[in-house]
Amino acid sequence: MRWAVLVGGTGSNLKALLAFGLRVDLVVSHRPGVGALDIAAEHGVPARVILPKDYADRLAYDQAVCACLEEFGIEAVAMAGFLRWLSPAVTARYRGAILNLHPSLLPSYTGLHAIERAFTDRVLWSGVTVHFVDEGHDTGPIVAQVPVPRLLEDTPADFERRIHQAEHHLYPRAIQAVDQGWVRFIDGMVSHQGGNREWMHGR
Ligand code: GRF
């Protein structure tokens, strides 16, 4: 499959995907000058910056993103630091083929600042979730999760570092599973295949 990665930040997950050996055909950023664009350039991955301020509204912006994905023949999309909610213009076009990475064990701590909020609440465990993107906010069917402990001696930075390490491990493997068809989105559910077994789950 031809994959695009949607970014907007430091690009540590983009780097992890590339280091894992996944092929990335396009990077789209909603912010200029971010680390993720440097990483794309270092790896020779074509990149486009599409700025929200250049479009009248969210729909026009998302249509521009979609047009760019179409131009590059993109079949599947991985979000990694793209801090914008996608409208159905994108989610419907790529249904079952858009993944998001979220730094908590969803459905806990949806939205922004999930790591800081979990730390402030002194949770024993948080974690990382990869899910298919639907029209809701961090609500799509879950592909994979990994728990991450908050240790007693952790500073916020320690805890955040451990969450990011888990992201860098989980996301490439989840993308590979979708790319290879081991995990599929079927009627709003997630199908997993392993050996000669198949099992489904939803939320
Ligand atoms: C990650 O923490 C991810 O969970 C969140 O955005 C962050 C992106 O980080 N959605 P990076 O740009 O990949 O370093």
* pLDDT digits 0-9 by tens, 113-167: 999 999 999 999 999 999 999 999 999 999 999 999 999 999 999 999 999 999 9
Whether ligand 1 lies within 6 angstroms of the CB of 78 is answered as no
66-87, pLDDT tens digit by residue? 999 999 999 999 999 998 889 9
Active site residue 192: no
Whether 103 lines ligand 1, by a CB cut-off of 6 Å, is yes
Q: Is the CB of 80 under 6 A from ligand 1?
A: yes
* pTM over 0.85, yes/no: yes
CB 99 within 8 A of CB 177: no
Please count the other Cβ atoms lying within 10 Å of the Cβ belonging to residue 75: 14
Question: Mind listing the pLDDT tens digit for each residue in 23-63?
Answer: 999 999 999 999 999 999 999 999 999 999 999 999 999 99
